[in-house]
Each structure stands twice: as structure tokens, then as C-alpha cells.
Homo-oligomer: A and B are copies of this chain.
């Protein structure tokens, strides 16, 4: 197995990323393809002793920066590290890739180059939200498909459940459909249709869930359209930063508070990390023909190591094969969806 790592697009690239890739070798049997400027990578490699037989370099000359327009960048930089890494997967030279770069560009490249898994109507972006029990809730879609049909929501549910069961060993993941109330009658015409179908599938569908359930540990997978999911993800980050800022303001009000806060710096740092959604996994693409992990823009050695671990597990446990199989088995892939009474032309 080979995992391609775009070591050029992160804010701290390339050294900590190269280091992270080398560190990961101790934890799995896969080989790593480092994608980026050959000279820079070679000099970074010299600093860390490693098993040379499991490391390859694939040269690329361009980098897509964080604030570039994804669609423009993809057109203008065909030799960007993220494009080259994706192409390796497309050509079967790598089994998966990870990138810490521009989210839009990473997602667009993967969708465009890799295409969809057999039977998948639309791929989705999956993110993780923190819960009070120090676990996570997977949420999809957080931005790929702003307007969904029922088939998309149903497929997101199945793909999300396969993802968490294969990657985090959660048996029979609890799936919730994000809604403006718990009752079956709540929601939109599309969400109500998805509800009716999900209720009939052999999955652990707990029904409609409310916004607060995303964070209380009561579900493992939250399903929604990309419009709602994207707003939720960014709002979560916004609330976190606001609370952190209010906390700082309150603390500044008294010398005693400041002294106490000084003793608690570690607590606040931990807290800040927890409320930065990018810290706990970033976005992962699901439903595309390959494994694609998008890590934090300022990914550290540890983040890259963890990202590779997730990619390896997804490949090893055949996540994508299981998605194809389950969609077919449940009668919700593109080809057998017409059993649910919707015009298959309309997908």
C-alpha cells in the first residue's frame, strides 16, 4: 500500500510534514510518496534517519496557496503538489493521499480527478465535531452539495456510517438526520422523504436530531445538506472563538482572575484546541474513487502522522468497497434507487 503526502501546501511546509510522514512509518506497513520540490524534500529527509525503501519522492513544481480561488488555481497550476498527489491515486500509483492545503482546491481536485464511487450519486465532505465526552460526531455533508435530494441524504447516511465503523471501530453507528425538531413531521420535503427511507433501511437510524445533539454524544453520524452543514461547521468554530474571547475579557477584569488564569494556561490551550474544528480531523472526502484526507492548514508532525494513519486504515479496511456494497445491498445506489419511487432520471 502507498499513501501520497502533499508536503508543500501546508503553512508549516515542508519539514514538519516530512517528519510526520517518516514518524508514521513506525505505525503501519505502507510506503509513503512525498510529493513536492525534490531538493527541498531531500534536504528535509536528511535530518531524520528512516527506512529508505519505504519512502519515494515525486517531484512537483507548483503550490496552490491557502487563499487562491480553487477553480482558478486548478486550471493554472497543473503541476501543483495537491494535483500531482491526486493524479498518483488516479493512476493507481498510490492508494490514497493527504494534503494540508487549500480545502476548496483539494476537494475540487479529488472530485474532478478521482470521480465517484460506483453507485454514489454525489460525494460529500465529512468533518468531525467535538462532544463533551471527548468523542466526536461525524457530520456530512459540510459543503460539497448545497442543495440535496433525498437520495443524497440517504447515501450520506450510509457512507458516514461505513466511515465511522471502518475507521473508528464503532459497531452499528447511530445515525441522525439534522432537523428543526425531532418529530417526523418536521423538516423540509426533502428531509422528510429521506427520513421515511432511512427508517426502512437496516441501519441504526435514530430519527431526526436537533442542533444540540451534534455535541452531546447521542449520535455518531449527523446527516444534512452541504448548505446547512457548512454553516454549522463555521458557526461552531465562531462560537468557540467567541467564548474564548469572552473568557479572556472576563479574566482581564481582576488581578485575582489574571493570577488564577496564569495557573490555568494549559487548560485554556487545551480548550482552544478542542474548539478549533480543524484541529480534530479537518475535512475528509467520501464517495470519491480513492481515499482523500484533508488535514489542518497548519498541520504539525503529529497531525500528518494521524492523517496518514486514517488514510491507511481507510485503505486497509476497504472503506470504499464497503460503501459500494452497502449502497447496493440497501437498495439505495444510483441504479436501484427507483425502487423508492423517485424518477431515476432525476438524480
Interface residues of A (CB under 8 A from B): 130-132, 134, 143, 146-147, 178-181, 186-189, 191, 210-216, 224, 226-228, 230-243, 245-247, 249-251, 253, 256-257, 259-261, 263-264, 266-267, 270-271, 274-275
Residues of chain B within 8 A of A230, CB atoms compared: 180-181, 210-211
Cross-interface CB contact of A227 among B180, B233, B247, B271, cutoff 8 Å: B180
A113 and B226 CA atoms in complex are apart in Å by 37
A250 and B265 CA atoms in complex are apart in Å by 11
Beta-carbon contact of B242 and A132 below 8 Å:
yes
**Identity of the chain B residue whose Cβ is nearest the Cβ of A145 in the assembled complex:** B180
- What 5 additional pairs, Cβ within 8 angstroms, besides A134-B249, A211-B230? A187-B227, A227-B228, A232-B232, A243-B243, A257-B264
Beta-carbon contact of B246 and A233 below 8 Å:
no
The main secondary structure of chain A at its interface with chain B is helix
Residues of chain B within 8 A of A212, CB atoms compared: 234-235, 237-238, 241
Residues of chain B within 8 A of A242, CB atoms compared: 130-132, 215-216
Beta-carbon contact of B238 and A214 below 8 Å:
yes
Q: How far is the CB of A226 from chain B (nearest CB, A)?
A: 6
**Identity of the chain B residue whose Cβ is nearest the Cβ of A233 in the assembled complex:** B211
Q: How far is the CB of A137 from chain B (nearest CB, A)?
A: 10
Beta-carbon contact of B227 and A243 below 8 Å:
no
* 9 sample A-B contacts, Cβ–Cβ < 8 Å, listed by A number: A132-B246, A134-B246, A179-B231, A180-B231, A216-B242, A235-B236, A236-B239, A250-B267, A260-B261
Which 9 A-B pairs have CB atoms at the shortest separation, nearest pair first? A211-B234, A211-B235, A212-B238, A180-B230, A215-B238, A132-B245, A260-B260, A260-B263, A215-B242
Q: How far is the CB of A229 from chain B (nearest CB, A)?
A: 8
Beta-carbon contact of A211 and B227 below 8 Å:
no
Beta-carbon contact of B231 and A251 below 8 Å:
no
**Identity of the chain B residue whose Cβ is nearest the Cβ of A216 in the assembled complex:** B238
**Identity of the chain B residue whose Cβ is nearest the Cβ of A230 in the assembled complex:** B180
Cross-interface CB contact of A215 among B232, B241, B264, cutoff 8 Å: B241
Residues of chain B within 8 A of A237, CB atoms compared: 211-212
A130 and B121 CA atoms in complex are apart in Å by 39
A266 and B253 CA atoms in complex are apart in Å by 11
Beta-carbon contact of A179 and B227 below 8 Å:
yes
Given contacts A231-B210, A235-B236, contact A271 B247 (CB under 8 A): yes
Residues of chain B within 8 A of A180, CB atoms compared: 143, 146, 226-227, 230-231
